[in-house]
């Protein structure tokens, strides 16, 4: 298990960091973070269950809206995390 989690983490570093990459590939890599974060987040906010199904009436999604707004406004990781936790705790009082 340790090995198969390690290899995908290490291999691209070892292979790519020493080479000059074509510019389209650099652009592609530049788009990867935004894509991955969004691909990790959105299903966590709007789907639930096993097997997964669409479920938009979740406190996770509701709380995400003010949290996202605070992130946009403050651009502070720490503040966003604390605010998100507070909103989620608050939402827990009503749901």
Residues in touch with other proteins (CB under 8 A): 1-2, 4-6, 8-18, 21, 23-24, 26-47, 51-54, 60, 63-64, 67-68, 71-72, 75-78, 80-81, 83-90, 92
Is the bond preceding 51 in cis, omega lying within 30 degrees of 0?
yes
Strand partners, 53: 48
- In the bound state with other proteins, the residue whose beta carbon lies nearer, of 32 and 57, is 32
Q: Report the nearest approach of other proteins to the CB of residue 95 (Å).
A: 11
Is 55 within 8 Å of 46 (Cβ atoms)? yes
Q: How many CB atoms lie within 10 A of CB 33?
A: 9
- Pick 5 or 57: Cβ nearer other proteins: 5
Q: How far is the CB of 29 from other proteins (least distance, A)?
A: 5
Closest approach of Cβ 69 to other proteins, in Å?
A: 10
Distance CA 59, CA 44 (A): 11
């Amino acid at each position: 298990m340790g090995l198969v989690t390690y290899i995908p983490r290490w291999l691209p570093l070892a292979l790519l960091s020493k080479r000059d990459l074509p510019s389209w590939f650099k652009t592609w890599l530049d788009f990867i973070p935004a894509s991955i974060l969004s691909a990790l987040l959105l299903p966590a906010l709007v789907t639930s269950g096993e097997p997964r199904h669409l479920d938009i009436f979740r406190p996770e999604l509701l709380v995400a809206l003010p949290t996202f707004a605070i992130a946009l406004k403050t651009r502070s990781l720490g503040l966003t995390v604390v605010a998100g936790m507070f909103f989620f705790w608050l939402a827990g009082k009503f749901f």
